[in-house]
Amino acid sequence: WLTFAWTEIPHITYVEAIDVTELERLRREMNADNDGERMTILAFLSRAIVLACREQPALNAHYDHGAAELTVFEDVRLGIATQTDSGLMVPVVRDAEQRSVLGLASELARITSAARDGSATRSDLSGSTITITSLGALGGIATTPILNPPEVAIVGVNKIEVRPTWADGVVVPRQVMNLSSSFDHRMVDGWDAATFVQRIRRLLETPALLFVE
């Protein structure tokens, strides 16, 4: 299936650096104050993707090459590429557009745990409309994610590292991660891909926006 995706779909990959200093500060404070689910970067990214898809719904879609038909979805079903003892699986957060950041964190933990312990259902592992892939601390500087067909977009998370950043005339250390995102170039041109990632960047760099309806 991945071979098909790589050989049959013309990919375009767009890489952007995201300053997550403020987001990481917020995440640590939420974890310190929260006795429940531990917040991860993926919960915030999931919310950012939902909000970005509101403005560009054609990226939350399936493309049927045989029928030459693009199906755009109102509900966001986030696939989460997850490494398990049985190989790579993609459990799905359904109705992501209806969930808060905390709700996303809880559901992310549930479905990835279910995938790893073998309790995931067929529904848990099918039907995604856009996918996130992350290697966590092993994420490297940049990657070239392969699309999860028939989806037209996948967002890849690279590792967070402290980088020297020029701000107000001085160099300051900031926590930065790259997003490496791939798109089906038949349906998504470079401008739309860049606009989508730049919207996610703004949301993550100004995390208060993630909590605004």
Q: Provide the annotated active-site residues.
A: 185, 189
For 151-201, the DSSP string reads BSEEEEEEEEEEEEEEETTEEEEEEEEEEEEEEETTT--HHHHHHHHHHHH
Give me the residues paired with residue 63 across strands.
70
Looking at residue 5, its amino acid is A
CB count in 10 Å sphere of residue 49: 26
93 within 8 A of 179, measured Cβ to Cβ: no
